[in-house]
Amino acid sequence: MFDKRLMKVCPESRKYIIGNVLLQWFELVCNALIFYELAGIIAGLVSGGSFSLQDNAVNIAIVLSTVIIRFIATKFAVKMSFLASKTVKRKMRGMIYGKLLKLGSAYRESVTTAELVQESVEGVDQLESYFGQYVPQFFYAFLAPVTLFVMFGLLGSWTVGLVLLICVPLIPGAIVMVQKIAKKLLARYWGQYTELGSTFLENLQGMTTLKTYQTDGFKNEQMNAESDKFRFVTMKVLTMQLNSIIIMDFFTYGGAAVGIALVASKFAELGIQPALFMILMSAEFFLPMRRLGSYFHVAMNGMAASDKIFKFLQLPEPAKKPGVIENIGEIRFSDVHFSYDESREILHGIDISIPEHSFTCIVGESGCGKSTVASLLMGRNTTGSGSITIGGKNIGEISEESLMNSLTYIGHNSFFFEGTVRENLLISNPDADDEKLWSVLERCRLSEFLKAENGLDTELLENTINLSGGQRQRLALARAILHDTPFYIFDEATSSIDVESEETILGLIHEMTETKTVIMISHRLANVKDADCIYVMENGSIAEHGTHSELLKNNSVYAALWERQQELENYGKGESA
Ligand SMILES: Nc1ncnc2c1ncn2[C@@H]1O[C@H](COP(=O)(O)OP(=O)(O)OP(=O)(O)O)[C@@H](O)[C@H]1O
Ligand SMILES: [Mg+2]
> Distance between terminal CA atoms of the chain?
80
From 333, 343, 366, 368, the mutation candidate for ligand 1 (largest count of ligand atoms within 8 A of CB) is 368
**What residues flank ion ligand 2 with Cβ within 5 A?**
371
Task: Give one word for 101, left, alpha or beta, with left for phi > 0 and alpha for psi -120 to 50.
Answer: alpha
- Which residues of the chain does CATH 1.20.1560.10 include? 4-313
Give the residue, by CA position, lying nearest to ligand 1 atom 14: 369
Contact of 507 with 476, CB cutoff 8 Å: no
Q: Which CATH number fits domain 4-313: 3.30.70.1560, 3.40.50.720, 3.30.830.10, 1.20.1560.10?
A: 1.20.1560.10
* CA–CA distance, 177 with 3 (Å, rounded to integer): 17
Task: Give one word for 104, left, alpha or beta, with left for phi > 0 and alpha for psi -120 to 50.
Answer: left
Local structure of residue 323 (DSSP, 8 states): B
CA nearest to 505, candidates 480, 475, 474, 471: 474
Cα of 472 vs centre of ligand 2, distance in Å, is 19
* Cβ contacts of 36 within 8 Å, gap of 6 or more: 273, 277
Contact of 329 with 391, CB cutoff 8 Å: yes
* CA–CA distance, 441 with 455 (Å, rounded to integer): 10
* Cβ contacts of 317 within 8 Å, gap of 6 or more: 99, 102, 103
Provide the pairing of β-strand 359-364 with 385-390: unpaired
From 372, 527, 542, the mutation candidate for ligand 1 (largest count of ligand atoms within 8 A of CB) is 372
Provide the pairing of β-strand 533-538 with 359-364: parallel
Provide the pairing of β-strand 487-491 with 407-410: parallel
* CA–CA distance, 160 with 157 (Å, rounded to integer): 6
Q: Please state the atom number of ligand 1 nearest to the C-alpha of residue 540.
A: 14
* CA–CA distance, 235 with 239 (Å, rounded to integer): 6
Ligand 1 pocket member 372 (CB < 6 A)? yes
Ligand 1 pocket member 447 (CB < 6 A)? no
Q: Please state the atom number of ligand 1 nearest to the C-alpha of residue 365.
A: 25
Q: Please state the atom number of ligand 1 nearest to the C-alpha of residue 492.
A: 27
Ligand 1 pocket member 495 (CB < 6 A)? no
The pLDDT, as a whole number, for residue 1 is 63
Q: Which helix (H) or strand (E) holds 349?
A: strand 347-354
Ligand 1 pocket member 105 (CB < 6 A)? no
Burial category of 573 from C-beta neighbours within 10 Å (exposed 0-12, middle 13-18, buried 19 and up): exposed
* Secondary structure (DSSP) of 65-126: HHHHHHHHHHHHHHHHHHHHHHHHHHHHHHHHHHHHHHHGGGGGGTS-HHHHHHIIIIIHHH
Distances (CA, A) of 299 to 18, 21, 227: 18, 17, 24
The pLDDT, as a whole number, for residue 573 is 65
Q: Which CATH superfamily is domain 331-576 in?
A: P-loop containing nucleotide triphosphate hydrolases (3.40.50.300)
Cα of 375 vs centre of ligand 2, distance in Å, is 10
Contact of 517 with 328, CB cutoff 8 Å: yes
Helix (H/G/I), strand (E/B), else coil: 6 = helix
* Cβ contacts of 34 within 8 Å, gap of 6 or more: 63, 66, 67, 70
Contact of 520 with 360, CB cutoff 8 Å: yes
Ligand 1 pocket member 522 (CB < 6 A)? no
- Which residues of the chain does CATH 3.40.50.300 include? 331-576
From 339, 340, 535, 565, the mutation candidate for ligand 1 (largest count of ligand atoms within 8 A of CB) is 340
* CA–CA distance, 85 with 124 (Å, rounded to integer): 10
Rounded to 10 deg, the angle between the 158-167 and 272-313 helix axes is: 30
* CA–CA distance, 265 with 434 (Å, rounded to integer): 88
Give the residue, by CA position, lying nearest to ligand 1 atom 25: 366
Local structure of residue 282 (DSSP, 8 states): H
Instruction: Chunk the chain into consecutive blocks of 10 residues (it has 577) and report each block's average pLDDT, rounded to whole numbers.
Output: 76 91 94 91 79 77 92 94 91 91 77 81 85 90 93 87 87 78 85 88 86 84 92 91 85 90 86 89 89 82 84 84 86 94 90 95 93 90 82 89 92 90 94 95 92 94 88 93 94 84 88 93 90 95 96 93 86 58
Determine the length of the chain: 577
